[in-house]
């Protein structure tokens, strides 16, 4: 019985710790994205446009999490930009499928400026901030890793 009490207390503490780590989903615009790109210089940057209702996006999500784990933060930055209509929907998704990278909500400005009409869409920027990939559609984890490895080797 004592072990059961300890287990329940431990789970409550762990649950509150995990809940406190929930990401705040901030709306971003094109100026914010430009700032993210500038702040990520000297690192490869992967920007994934996605939504909670997009089956290929959900399929791609674990690969982005794995990619983020594979490289040091000094070498690779991964950012997710949701095109969902509500931050609450995104937060609920992240409770079930945690991300180890920042997730933002497009305020509509980025999609409009970049002409993003379909998702998933992945942009990859070199260490110099140059866009080297603009891919529409699902990217398998192995393919994404291969591309990132190639971009990491660029000067």
Query: How confident is the model over 100-109, as pLDDT tens digits?
Result: 999 999 999 9
**Residues 41-99 pLDDT 10s:** 999 999 999 999 999 999 999 999 999 999 999 999 999 999 999 999 999 999 999 99
How crowded is residue 15: how many other Cβ atoms within 10 Å of its Cβ?
10
Per the CB < 8 A criterion, the answer to whether 91 and 25 are in contact is yes
Cis preceding linkage at 120, omega within 30: yes
> CATH number of the domain at 23-152, out of 3.30.300.30, 1.10.340.30, 3.40.30.10, 3.40.430.10?
3.40.30.10
If you count them, how many residues does the chain have? 155
Domain boundaries, the chain: 23-152
Question: Residue 50 pairs with which residues in a beta bridge?
Answer: 82
pLDDT at 17: 37
């Amino acid at each position: 019985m004592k072990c059961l009490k300890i287990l329940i207390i431990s789970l409550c503490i762990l649950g509150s710790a995990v809940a406190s780590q929930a990401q705040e989903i901030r709306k971003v615009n094109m100026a914010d994205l430009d700032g993210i790109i500038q702040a990520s210089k000297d690192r490869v940057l992967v920007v994934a446009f996605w939504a909670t209702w997009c089956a290929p996006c959900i399929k791609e999500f674990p690969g982005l999490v794995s990619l983020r784990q594979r490289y040091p933060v000094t070498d690779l930055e991964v950012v997710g930009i949701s095109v969902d209509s509500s931050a609450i929907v995104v937060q609920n998704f992240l409770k079930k499928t945690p991300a180890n990278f920042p997730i933002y909500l497009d305020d509509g400005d980025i999609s409009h400026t970049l002409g993003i009409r379909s998702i998933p869409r992945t942009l990859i920027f070199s260490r110099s901030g140059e866009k080297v990939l603009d891919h529409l559609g699902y990217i398998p984890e192995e393919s994404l890793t291969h591309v990132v490895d190639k971009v990491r080797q660029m000067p």
